[in-house]
Structure 1
Amino acid sequence: MFEFVLPPAFVMLIGAFLVAVSRRGLRPVIALAAPLVTLYAIWQVPDGIQLTATFLGYEVQVVEGGPERRLFATVFAMMAFGGILFAFRQAKWYELAAAMAYAAGAIGVSFAGDLIVMFLFWELMALFSVIVVWAGGTFGSKRAGIRYIIMHLLGGIILKVGIEGIMVHTGSVEIRPLALDNFDTWLVFIGILVNAAAPPVSAWLSDAYPQSSPTGSVFLSAFTTKTAVLAMMLLFPGQPLLIWIGLWMVFYGIIYALLENDIRRILSYSIINQVGFMVVAVGIGTELALNGAAAHAFAHIFYKALLFMSAGAVIYQTGKNKCSELGGLYRSMPLTTICGTIGALAISSFPLTSGFISKSMTVSAAADMHMAFVWFMLVAASAGVFLHAGIKFPWFVFFQKDSGLRPKDPPWNMQAAMVLMSVICIGLGVFPQLLYGLLPYPVEYVPYTPDHVVTQLQLLLFAGLAFFVMLPMMKRTLTVSLDLDWFWRVAWVELFRLVERGLNRLRVGLAALSTGLLQRINRELMRHHGAEGVLARAWPTGSMLLWVAVLLAGFMIARYA
């Protein structure tokens, strides 16, 4: 029997370090083995506090086990393996190492026993995730990475101040449900929502994720927002404000994804939409709702990774990332098309996929609590999800018009990763108890009832009909949809141009003023000292003697006065 000794996050961190220092031939073996060893270590962590340490004079709880913690850590380790399988032959070594350290941070947050440890791993995620963004290697990725880290440092500072306030005022850093009844808990609440990409700061996600490499966006899609969901489950379950924030996120993601042209920006907005469902579930706060949030987070990580993998494979093989540049790829990329379609069906909650057995738990939880408006909005949003991710993404990328591109399916490791994610998406849909058995509360929910299946199929068929009826209105253009990023894409640029124009006008004005002043001085000098000036004339000797006498007399008077 394995005795718990080392925190699972440290196992992944050691793997990241070994990947960074190992030789090229050994690097894939270490990278693929580390998540599996980490997964084994995760399942050796019993419930309760397992490891403490002293940090800055405080006794901190480095590892605390629990069902929801184990669930999230499990999916993070599995996602790390799938992402590495997809990336290890194409990604740069430092991107792989950073992605593993990023996953280690997410696993560390999952098992954090107090707010201090949670914050340390929280910032570890921010540090290494920005390296994953920068690994895109373009000018755009560098700029997006800077904006990304500024936003996350801001969120981290807000979270840190809130934690410090709780420490000072309560003397405890225990992770427990908090009420929004003081300034400290509000700061913690806001800091977590920043990582969840909640409004009004949702734009950082759709700004940064598409700028990473085709492999990097797979990792980015999995960890940051889901750790925020776990933090909300542990700290703010049943907070009614989360219901309305979540609904905003749900429809925000749908609207912006429908307007978008870049395939990875479509999927990035879709992350915000899907996290919105989880946030609503946490806000409802019942056992069924919290099970729904955990189940949906688990399922979402896999089908969203599958969608980003298929998008990354297309970008890797074609160099194109716009819907308007793609189409007809099913002819030459059949496996990618099939896997991408499976991911699209899963995110749309199609029966026999993972999305069907997870998202419906939140909708049912709203119905059980007689929240008619919330239930109606979630059902309507389910149709919207099918529009932007279930149909729009595969239709414009793999079908619609023939773009003339004939790329092959990507290298074998990318294909293997997509097949693995597809098997998980279908496997969880066919055998829901594989997931339900991991949830934090006992599950009595039955997803496959005639009413539920028929209702969902009717909803999807109606959404599909609406999509093809409105297809002529959905012509893609080479534009970028703006939200809060208007400030740095438009306002900041215009402000810079305004300041630049003002400085140019000031420079021209000062130049004209100085030129006029110098000309005036020159005229005065020439009037007195020029060839015809007063002081340049030939004066009679008598006049000179007279002026000398006047000056001498003036001097003598001044001297003896």
Structure 2
Amino acid sequence: MFEMLPPALALIAGALLTFLISSKGLRAAVVITAPLICLYMIWQIPDGVVLRGAFLGYPLELVEGSPVRRLFATIFAIMAATGAVFAFNTARRTELVAAQFYAAGAIGVCFAGDLLTLFVYWELMALFSTVVVWCGGTEAARAAGIRYAIMHLLGGVVLKVGIEGLMVNTGSLDIRPLLATDFSTWMILIGILINAAAPPVSAWLSDAYPTASPSGSVFLSAFTTKTAILALILLFPGEPVLIGVGLFMVFYGIIYALLENDIRRILAFSIVNQVGFMVVAVGIGTEMAINGAAAHAFAHIIYKALLFMSAGVVVMRTGKTLCTDVGGLFRTMPVTMVCGVIGALAISSFPLTSGFTTKTMISQAAMDESLVAVYFLLAAASAGVFLHAGIKFPWFVFFQKDSGLRPKDAPWNMTIAMVFFAGLCILLGIFPELLYPLLPYAVDYVPYKMGKVLMYLQLLLFSGLAFFLLLPWMQRTRTISLDVDWLWRRGLPALARISARLSRPLISAGQQRLQSLVGSAGNSIRNTMGSHGPLGRSWEIGTTALWIALLLMMYVVFYYLM
């Protein structure tokens, strides 16, 4: 029976129960148990289509299994359960409910066998991820949530236009490999890239994620961009344009993360950077590259959530969000510090961490296809990742100057979640064979070769040396780094002010003209309808009867002429 049910139903049922249950203890049990039940259901689904339906005469494939679909669904379920452990003690009921619906949408996308089913779950994610942003509970979260919703509604419209065009042109809604060759496929690709946070439409991520609650940002880091990667793997493997898009994302994220001061905005820009590696891999499109994209997405969800957990604990305990306001926290937050450092090493592809055993697959895929420029650009980007996430984040937050703050370490439930993910980062780094069999294609890759390990160690060593040599030029400032969000933060308000100033004389002249016209019309009405006007004064009976007869005669003539 379980192999025919959408696994997302377990999380939807859990969300409804969480909404109805008033006991905090029972809610905690539900939000942790529902993802585990979902995980069991995921691994009951065999390869191929197992549940079909129909809509307006079009066949639907509601549940379709494959290795890559199960891989993404598995890490989404693990993330939902671990995120619930991290969040249940501090998050509001609304956030827990929204997070479960959000995760259900992501898992629904994983097993959608047709584009219409995918679109429905896609929009479910957009709706409830917006609610997660709003649960930040601040004015900044409310405004960012509105901007986030507008951007994802726009992306949904673009995706829907592409799906409808493809349906009209081919008569099929099946999910299958495509190439961006016509308007419909380009619209589908653009709609997916909006969710992947590909510049220039990536500002929604760095705008919204840091304004969510400490637990909300953990959930947000996991699902939206990675479902976009799965959609690209299923729909556009080997699309050449994705190599260029991915490389741009890689360096865009590095530059803005190095400029950023807000603790969680650094990590938000880092998401763009890491997703760029996966987009490049999908663009290469070989079996090794697709394995690398899937494996790196799996590892990325773990270490990025770990970094957001570490940052979230700091924000929760100190009430500070800027690097300029914290420092020296290792004294009283050793567990949070150690977990944050492990996450930083993993994202930097340090040997014996999960980032090394997955990200190097992407570089190897580029070398296998003789894409030498891509290989060296990805290697340089790995050094940049170590600069902003591997060193900058832990150095400024936990070390360097002593801010004088002495906050408590993470609560027990948050500690459990962080230690679990930190352990997975190391486990998958030491024993990659635990992950490789789950990948979509057979793996013939050995990550720990002496030359490769030495190259990455040298790369990280010299980038670390560069960081400390350039430290005087990397001092933190109380600024917000703007990219395309300059348009709505600065550009549109400035345009409104200029327009108001330029149009003020025209508005004033228009008001005067309107007042003059109203005055003239009033005088004309008074002259006509007033007591001395032709239509207002008293008429003799005979004259009135004559006018009525003339009007009736005109009406009869007009009626017969028509």
Q: Distance in 2 between matches of 1:84 and 1:55?
A: 35
Q: Distance in 2 between matches of 1:3 and 1:508?
A: 70
Letter aligned with residue 10 of structure 1: L
Report matched runs for 1:135-214 at 5 Å: 135-214=135-214
2:11 corresponds to which residue? 12
The alignment yields a C-alpha RMSD, in angstroms, of 1.7
Q: Distance in 1 between matches of 2:359 and 2:402?
A: 34
1:316 corresponds to which residue? 316
Identity percentage of aligned residues: 65
1:87 corresponds to which residue? 87
- Report how many aligned residue pairs link the two structures: 517
1:451 corresponds to which residue? 451
- Per the TM alignment, residue 55 of structure 1 is displaced from its structure 2 partner at its CA by 2.4
2:401 corresponds to which residue? 401
- Per the TM alignment, residue 64 of structure 1 is displaced from its structure 2 partner at its CA by 0.2
1:22 corresponds to which residue? 21
Report matched runs for 1:187-336 at 5 Å: 187-336=187-336
Name stretches of at least 5 consecutive residues in structure 1 with no aligned partner.
518-561
- Per the TM alignment, residue 56 of structure 1 is displaced from its structure 2 partner at its CA by 3.3
User: Secondary structure, in 3 states, of the residue corresponding to 2:405?
Assistant: coil
Letter aligned with residue 314 of structure 2: V
1:306-338 Cα offsets, whole Å, 9 max, x none, are: 000000000000000101111000001000000
Q: Distance in 1 between matches of 2:55 and 2:181?
A: 28
Letter aligned with residue 7 of structure 1: P
User: Secondary structure, in 3 states, of the residue corresponding to 2:49?
Assistant: strand
User: Secondary structure, in 3 states, of the residue corresponding to 1:178?
Assistant: coil
User: Secondary structure, in 3 states, of the residue corresponding to 2:207?
Assistant: helix
Q: Distance in 2 between matches of 1:378 and 1:119?
A: 32
User: Secondary structure, in 3 states, of the residue corresponding to 2:63?
Assistant: strand
Letter aligned with residue 173 of structure 2: V
- Per the TM alignment, residue 54 of structure 1 is displaced from its structure 2 partner at its CA by 2.2
User: Secondary structure, in 3 states, of the residue corresponding to 2:237?
Assistant: coil
Q: Please tell me whether the aligned partners of residues 42 and 73 of structure 1 are also in contact (alpha carbons under 8 angstroms).
A: yes
Letter aligned with residue 20 of structure 2: V
Q: Please tell me whether the aligned partners of residues 291 and 361 of structure 1 are also in contact (alpha carbons under 8 angstroms).
A: yes
- Per the TM alignment, residue 503 of structure 1 is displaced from its structure 2 partner at its CA by 5.3
Q: Please tell me whether the aligned partners of residues 316 and 410 of structure 1 are also in contact (alpha carbons under 8 angstroms).
A: no
Letter aligned with residue 132 of structure 1: V
1:535 corresponds to which residue? none
Letter aligned with residue 197 of structure 1: A
1:542 corresponds to which residue? none
Letter aligned with residue 10 of structure 2: V
- Per the TM alignment, residue 502 of structure 1 is displaced from its structure 2 partner at its CA by 3.8
Letter aligned with residue 309 of structure 1: M
Q: Distance in 2 between matches of 1:57 and 1:23?
A: 43
User: Secondary structure, in 3 states, of the residue corresponding to 1:261?
Assistant: coil
Letter aligned with residue 27 of structure 1: R
Q: Please tell me whether the aligned partners of residues 243 and 281 of structure 1 are also in contact (alpha carbons under 8 angstroms).
A: yes
Q: Please tell me whether the aligned partners of residues 5 and 63 of structure 2 are also in contact (alpha carbons under 8 angstroms).
A: no
Letter aligned with residue 221 of structure 1: S
1:99-139 Cα offsets, whole Å, 9 max, x none, are: 01000000000000011111110000000000000000111
Q: Distance in 1 between matches of 2:229 and 2:514?
A: 63
Letter aligned with residue 270 of structure 1: S
Letter aligned with residue 367 of structure 2: A
2:530 corresponds to which residue? none
Q: Distance in 1 between matches of 2:511 and 2:419?
A: 69
1:173-206 Cα offsets, whole Å, 9 max, x none, are: 1111102111111110110000000111011110
- Per the TM alignment, residue 501 of structure 1 is displaced from its structure 2 partner at its CA by 2.9
1:205-231 Cα offsets, whole Å, 9 max, x none, are: 101111111110000000000000000
Report matched runs for 1:40-59 at 5 Å: 40-59=40-59
* TM-score, with length taken from structure 1: 0.90
Q: Distance in 1 between matches of 2:514 and 2:219?
A: 59
- Per the TM alignment, residue 150 of structure 1 is displaced from its structure 2 partner at its CA by 0.6
Name stretches of at least 5 consecutive residues in structure 2 with no aligned partner.
517-562
Q: Please tell me whether the aligned partners of residues 257 and 265 of structure 2 are also in contact (alpha carbons under 8 angstroms).
A: yes
Letter aligned with residue 459 of structure 1: L
1:105 corresponds to which residue? 105
- Per the TM alignment, residue 401 of structure 1 is displaced from its structure 2 partner at its CA by 0.5
Letter aligned with residue 72 of structure 2: F
Q: Distance in 2 between matches of 1:260 and 1:60?
A: 45
- Per the TM alignment, residue 513 of structure 1 is displaced from its structure 2 partner at its CA by 9.7
Q: Distance in 1 between matches of 2:56 and 2:13?
A: 24
1:120-171 Cα offsets, whole Å, 9 max, x none, are: 1000000000000000011111110111011111110010010011111101
Q: Distance in 2 between matches of 1:507 and 1:160?
A: 41
- Per the TM alignment, residue 437 of structure 1 is displaced from its structure 2 partner at its CA by 1.0
Q: Distance in 1 between matches of 2:87 and 2:398?
A: 22
User: Secondary structure, in 3 states, of the residue corresponding to 1:215?
Assistant: helix
- Per the TM alignment, residue 355 of structure 1 is displaced from its structure 2 partner at its CA by 0.2
Q: Distance in 2 between matches of 1:162 and 1:10?
A: 27
Q: Distance in 2 between matches of 1:5 and 1:183?
A: 35
User: Secondary structure, in 3 states, of the residue corresponding to 1:54?
Assistant: strand
User: Secondary structure, in 3 states, of the residue corresponding to 1:53?
Assistant: strand
Q: Please tell me whether the aligned partners of residues 354 and 426 of structure 2 are also in contact (alpha carbons under 8 angstroms).
A: yes
Q: 1:285 to 1:510 in 2, by over 3 A?
A: closer
- Per the TM alignment, residue 511 of structure 1 is displaced from its structure 2 partner at its CA by 8.6
1:418-475 Cα offsets, whole Å, 9 max, x none, are: 0111011111111101110100000010001111111110000000000000000011
Report matched runs for 1:352-367 at 5 Å: 352-367=352-367
- Per the TM alignment, residue 57 of structure 1 is displaced from its structure 2 partner at its CA by 3.1
Report matched runs for 1:372-387 at 5 Å: 372-387=372-387
1:372-423 Cα offsets, whole Å, 9 max, x none, are: 1000100000000000000000000000100110001121111111011101
- Per the TM alignment, residue 500 of structure 1 is displaced from its structure 2 partner at its CA by 3.4
User: Secondary structure, in 3 states, of the residue corresponding to 1:4?
Assistant: helix
Q: Distance in 2 between matches of 1:165 and 1:338?
A: 51
